[in-house]
Structure 1
Amino acid sequence: MSAGGIMRHLRPWRRLGSDRRGVSAVEFAMLAPVMIFFYFGLAEFCQGYMAQKRASHSAAMVADLIAQREGVTGGEIEDVFEIGELIMAPFSASPLNMRVSSATRINGTTVRIDWSRGHGMTARAVGSTITVPNGLIEVGESVVMSESTYDYDSPVDYMMPGVTRFSHTFYLRPRTVEKVVILP
């Protein structure tokens, strides 16, 4: 084969090397999977964040509603727990566990449980001690403590495989009395 024949066979390959058609399609094919992964990851993160915020709001609402009362019955506490479950919508309320307790500072280092009720969580034992943030209450003062846990299971499991547990604790002082009591 002559030198001219070889050059004729190489021409299409040279044109291919300088041809810019289809570059955008190749770039898109390389970037699309990464962008789609980020999109679904961000969507999953946002869903988890919304579930965490709703669980937090549920615990805060339970503490707030109990702290506004002078006394509550066990049935009223169950009603308040149901309100906490309604706040979780559109997420399932079944993984939401809540507990509300009233505690009084006995001395500078001891805070004792006066009463406690749980919904999916075991109630704290009356007379048991807890730790509260420094400066929250003085000796003789009481606090309503609400706790919640929520086991979030992502529907797509791309970025958050398995179950993620969110937990929250809120402390509120009683609004109208020194101590919220349990009524018969």
Structure 2
Amino acid sequence: MRRDPTTRRARPARPLISFWRDRRGVSAVEFALIAPVIVLMYCGMAELTQAMMAQRRVSNITSTIGDLVAQTGQAGPSKLNDTFQIGKIIMAPFPASDLKMCVVSITADANGKDTVAWSSTSSSMPTCPAQGAVLTDVSVGVLPANQSVIMARVTYAYASPIKLVLPNAMTFTRTYYLRPRKSDVVIWNNDI
């Protein structure tokens, strides 16, 4: 029997089968599925790296401003303003608007009572103890009786520019204690 050329029998869907077996676009599809994950990981690592750099700068600022004051025999308003400006310069390229610095001289009497002799801040900082305040959180190993230390405290609110992985600001706080070097105590002098 011969087939009539005018009547066609329904063929299976060859184009669908050939489309399913075609492997030419597999790489593009795989990349489209993986790309969002890779971009998220890249942005996350960039954000975390920037946050770690900001945290490291906060540590450097704290030790530097404390060290600068501990090296002098006297401190005053203009000298501390210059010291705080140095801290802002160290913070670059991060914005220094959220940077808060505090330098405090703490003395201990013969009984080990720790009292703030003087205090200076770069801006309002609630965690900076005021002059005359009695501190109870300084260990004896840091401040023995009849001695003095300089306490430097810095806080910085880091806000990520990308805000993909870190949408909220992170606050970094560092506190360093340094012994005065040129004298037993760093004296406050309003004239310098």
Same fold judged by TM-score > 0.5? yes
Task: Indicate the residue corresponding to 2:187 in structure 1.
Answer: 181
Q: 1:75 to 1:5 in 2, by over 3 A?
A: same
Q: Does the 8 Å CA contact 1:101/1:124 hold for their aligned counterparts?
A: yes
Q: Does the 8 Å CA contact 1:62/1:81 hold for their aligned counterparts?
A: yes
Deviation at 1:102, TM superposition (A): 0.5
One-letter code aligned to 1:138 = P
Residue-by-residue CA offset, 1:26-81 (whole Å, 9 max, x unaligned): 10000001101111111111112212211221111110000001112221111101
Moved over 4 A (4+): none
* Alpha-carbon distance between aligned partners in 2 of 1:34 and 1:134, rounded to the nearest angstrom: 51
TM-score by length of 1: 0.89
Deviation at 1:11, TM superposition (A): 2.7
Q: Does the 8 Å CA contact 1:95/1:150 hold for their aligned counterparts?
A: yes
Deviation at 1:144, TM superposition (A): 0.3
Question: Does 2:141 match 1:135?
Answer: yes
Identity of aligned residues (%): 39
Q: CA RMSD of the aligned region, Å?
A: 1.8
One-letter code aligned to 2:45 = L
* Alpha-carbon distance between aligned partners in 1 of 2:29 and 2:9, rounded to the nearest angstrom: 32
Q: How many residues align?
A: 180
Question: Does 2:94 match 1:91?
Answer: yes
> Which runs of 5 or more residues in structure 1 are unaligned?
none
Q: 97, 105, 118: which one pairs with 1:102?
A: 105
* Alpha-carbon distance between aligned partners in 2 of 1:146 and 1:61, rounded to the nearest angstrom: 9
TM-score by length of 2: 0.86
The structure that is helix-richer by fraction is 1
* Alpha-carbon distance between aligned partners in 2 of 1:95 and 1:80, rounded to the nearest angstrom: 17
Q: Does the 8 Å CA contact 1:117/1:124 hold for their aligned counterparts?
A: no
Q: 1:30 to 1:107 in 2, by over 3 A?
A: farther
Residues 159-170 of structure 1: matches in 2 within 5 Å? 159-170=165-176
Deviation at 1:89, TM superposition (A): 0.7
Q: Does the 8 Å CA contact 1:100/1:118 hold for their aligned counterparts?
A: yes
Q: Does the 8 Å CA contact 1:105/1:111 hold for their aligned counterparts?
A: yes
Q: Does the 8 Å CA contact 2:112/2:144 hold for their aligned counterparts?
A: no
Deviation at 1:14, TM superposition (A): 2.6
> Which runs of 5 or more residues in structure 2 are unaligned?
1-7
Instruction: Answer with 51-60 or 120-129: which moved more.
Output: 120-129
